Structure 1
Amino acid sequence: MWHGPRLRLKPASVAAIAGCRADAIIHFFGIASDARFLCKSSSMNPLLIEFSQKLAPVLKARGFKKTGATWYRNLDRMIQVLNIQKSPYADNFYVNVGIYLKALGDELRPPEARCHFRFRAESVLGADERFELNRLLDFTQKAPTSDRYQDIQILLEKSALLWLDENSTEQALWKLLQTPDAHAFAVRKGARDFFSERYD
């Protein structure tokens, strides 16, 4: 018989617990308050979990907060998104980057796929560094150095993280759209229209 404190669970939490592993359910009752997060975490690939943990210090230092395999930085007029994606077929990874404009939506944790600006981290690197990052993200190949994660972090600081720092305002994004580099980014039509109406 249960002798602990009585718990009142929302229907969504009860449904989430039903799909959890036993260890996640125990953790939920003992410590955690969000069963849905536990279920998601418990089903994540161990290598994906390790990857996200290795990047945690540099991302937290920049103000990002994590949900699953996605990191969010909440700014005044936008949410910056960095998602770590594992291939379903092999131990290959991709780092997806997005910007969600608050003027065009009200999601607090938008998936990278629903962001208004999207790109892969390597697309803002030069050819040699792009090749190097892709090689490091392919875990089926032996790492060229002894610290794969450190090398990935350095290249991400030169690419995705630097880009996000430099394009943290609407004005910066609008200027970017006027340059030849704009073709490297997937930009939703609604975002283009928004900038044209606001800044043209």
Structure 2
Amino acid sequence: MLPVEAQFAPSLKALGFKKKARTWTRETAEAFQLVNLQKSQFGEQVYVNVAVYLKALGEETFPPEYRCHIRARLERIAPESLFEDIRSVNASHPPQPGLLRALHDHAVPWLELVSSQTGLESFIRSPAAKHCSINSRVRAV
């Protein structure tokens, strides 16, 4: 288990996320919310991905992060003041304190926002949407 997994696990579990491999998933009425850890193929860097799979646009019950309809790296939705802590996640070392703050204060609220139709419509019109991967089917809804 990566040190960052050990740090994320208790708080995500308390929020209702279930872990499978390096992905935590939480189901809502309209979506599946994911927090995914992706280790670099070329070094010790670990990326934190957040994603939402909309039930209205698919029938998967355990969607992988790469097939989610809305996706982002944590550093793209957190404030610049936390970038260094987020980008310094390493497979061999304990994460910086700002990483857990970014998860709780920015990733979880973002997941909740884009998991509802109203929040998603608002988000898509916001400047922050340009930093995320949004499936074209989502924009058409």
Q: Would you call these one fold, judging by a TM-score over 0.5? A: yes
Amino acid at match of 1:67: K
1:114 aligns with 2:67: yes
CA RMSD of aligned residues (A): 1.9
1:97 aligns with 2:44: no
Mind listing any 5+ residue stretches in structure 1 that lack a counterpart?
1-45, 196-200
Cα deviation code 1:129-150 (max 9, x no counterpart): 1233212x1457xx7xxx6364
1:132 maps to what in 2?
Answer: 85
Q: What number of residue pairs does the alignment pair up?
A: 141
Identical pairs, percent: 33
1:58 maps to what in 2?
Answer: 11
1:80 aligns with 2:52: no
Mapping 1:9-20, distance limit 5 Å: none
- TM-score where L is the length of structure 1: 0.64
Amino acid at match of 1:125: A
1:168 maps to what in 2?
Answer: 115
- TM-score where L is the length of structure 2: 0.89
Match of 1:180 among 124, 127, 131: 127
Q: Which moved more, 1:153-162 or 1:73-82?
A: 153-162
The structure with the larger Rg is 1
Mind listing any 5+ residue stretches in structure 2 that lack a counterpart?
none
CA distance in 2, matches of 1:189, 1:59: 29
Shift of 1:178: 1.2
